Chain A
Amino acid sequence: MEAADIARLIDERLGAGTASVYEDLEPQVAIAPERLVEACLYLRDAQELRFDYMRCLTGLDLPPDAMAVVIHLVSTVLKHRLILRVETSRERPSVPSVEGVWPGAGWFEREVFDLLGVDFPGNRDLRRILLPDEWIGHPLRKDYRESRAFFNIPTRRAESIRVVHGSVPPAEEG
């Protein structure tokens, strides 16, 4: 089933304007954040869709004012795939959690929260997962600047290493 067909099915079920096709190399189905959980439950449970397996959930920083969460789904029963796209504001990025639909999504959401700062209301354990609790900022944001030090440990060398491409330093005489 193509992305356009699935977007049409979601619209039929949840009202026109819920889903639209986002053209890309692999077309995605864009969904409004406030209808995401309903749409996911429908995608998982409908007999003709059966998207039971969430293979990947990730975030994208799209400055100046948007962020996107991209969810890759597949059906182990019907063997077709789908990519969902949820756009949110960059000021206060927030996307409802789909942990209740696919329990495995919980950790993926924690990672997006950790690295991009997207809030996932409904996630029952939204803490940093890869970085330490004390970390400041969200590294995968395009405007991220690394702190000069972490617990007084400098994060940069005093002198930067200069890499010279394609040349070998001359051997010393003697």
Chain B
Amino acid sequence: MDRSILQRFDLTGGEMLLNMGPQHPSTHGVINFVIQADGEVMQKAVPEVGYLHRGMEKIAEGMTWAGFMPFTDRIDYLGAMFANQGYAMAVERLLGVEVPRRAEHLRVLACELNRIASHLIGLGSMALDLGASTPFTHAIREREAINDLTEELCGARLTYNYARVGGVSHDIPSGFDARVKRFLDRFLPFVDEFDRLITRNEIFVKRSASVAVITAAEAIAHGLAGPNLRASGVDWDLRRDEPYSVYPEMEFDVPLGRGERGVVGDCYDRFVVRVEEMRQSARIVRQALGGLPAGDIQAKVPRKIKPAPGSCYAAVESARGEMGFYVVSDGGPEPYRVKIRCGSFTAMTIIEHKSPGLMIADLVALFASLDVVAPEVDR
């Protein structure tokens, strides 16, 4: 049987049809692009996803509300804290549970550390995809320090399973705040060094500025989220515009794409916005740690969670944009439906739209700049 994706192509003009993937170093996971090209110039690139589909939403329907939490770690393996928090928030809204303030601070602290770690990988691998291999090693060195911190916090370096319905799993260990502060003191000079190393690197700028420009209207129409949306100049951040947790008490700026070396919404802007977001996250971590209130880290939640019938949607600003959970309860001990909305999924939808006329090498730049995580697309 022919693959259904082939219906999308017309090769009567003698064009080439190429598979880029599913195993390809620059697709960051298992994603396939089927490319119709005339020489180096693409006429169309159609993404083919689903290779990493694990049926998370189906799995959720077969287990308890609380039991699904570890699975949320595996949605986006670079930003598990966000999925933890988003799912916990959705169930808390169904139950009407108020989370203790100390737990909210700890969630914000953990999420912002996770955002830095995730952006480090995103930026490092984008540089790597565009031919600069050193920045990746620097970025991953710093990320390693964050992994050590989260390991201290919750015992895990990647799949944290940190949030609980109504709180978090662990309080901070003794001396943790001093170690986080020490990390932050070292981290900000590192970002400046990273800027000198790659962000202001002329070769890198030439390679990414004015490439694959996504206008604000296109970004909104395709539902792009997070840094990708803001790089196109759309001033939209859930932490500020749909306030949740203790973000209203935090002071931070929302960096936007300015087109400083090319056009607003180009690959370079998507890179720069993430660099700036790391600095802002560091600010938030400091505030969350500084204002950490005393008290419980877990609200009283029934041992068997059985929300009243109803549905709600809770979304957090993850490293890849809006991560939303639409949860439906029928009053039973298992979720009736859990829908997971991710930033990577919508980011993929714009690739076919942007591909005509793009060079094949620039598809790598576009894809890397969108910072797509494959398991998040497929869930």
Contact = CB atoms under 8 A, between A and B. Distances in A.
Interface residues of B, number: 45
B57 A26 contact: no
A55 B312 contact: no
Contact of A140 (B57, B223, B350): B57
Contact of B49 (A76, A102, A129, A139): A129
B12 interface: no
Interface of B: 1, 3-5, 7-8, 49-50, 53, 55, 57-58, 61, 93-94, 220-225, 234, 236, 241-242, 310-313, 315, 322, 324, 326, 328, 337, 339, 341, 345-346, 348-350, 353, 378-379
A58 B221 contact: no
A93 interface: no
Contact of B341 (A24, A55, A60, A105): A55
Contacts of B225: 55
Contacts, number: 98
Given A132-B50, A140-B57, 14 more contacts: A25-B312, A52-B221, A53-B236, A55-B324, A72-B313, A103-B221, A103-B349, A104-B222, A104-B350, A107-B346, A107-B348, A130-B49, A130-B378, A139-B58
A115 B60 CA distance: 14
B71 to A, nearest CB: 16
A60 B328 contact: yes
B92 to A, nearest CB: 12
A172 interface: no
How big is the A interface, by class? 35 or more
Which of the listed residues A53, A103, A133 has the most CB atoms from chain B within 10 Å of its own CB? A53
Chain B facing A: main interface SS: mixed
A108 B379 CA distance: 13
B370 to A, nearest CB: 13
Interface in A24-49: 24-26
Contact of B339 (A58, A128, A131): A58
Interface string A119-149: 0000001011111111000011000000000
B346 A104 contact: yes
Nearest to B49: A129
Chain A facing B: main interface SS: loop
A81 to B, nearest CB: 8
Interface string A63-95: 000000010101010010101000000000000
A54 interface: yes
- Per CB-CB distance, the 10 closest pairs between chain A and chain B, nearest first, are A104-B223, A25-B310, A58-B339, A104-B222, A130-B50, A56-B341, A130-B53, A127-B4, A25-B312, A107-B349
Contacts of A128: 4, 50
Contacts of B310: 24-25
A24 B313 contact: no
Given A26-B312, A53-B223, A107-B348, A133 B93 contact: no
Contacts of B8: 125
30 contacts: A24-B311, A25-B93, A25-B311, A53-B223, A53-B236, A55-B223, A55-B225, A61-B337, A70-B311, A72-B313, A72-B326, A72-B341, A74-B242, A102-B221, A102-B223, A104-B224, A104-B350, A107-B345, A107-B346, A107-B348, A108-B345, A125-B8, A128-B4, A129-B49, A130-B50, A130-B53, A130-B379, A131-B50, A134-B1, A140-B57
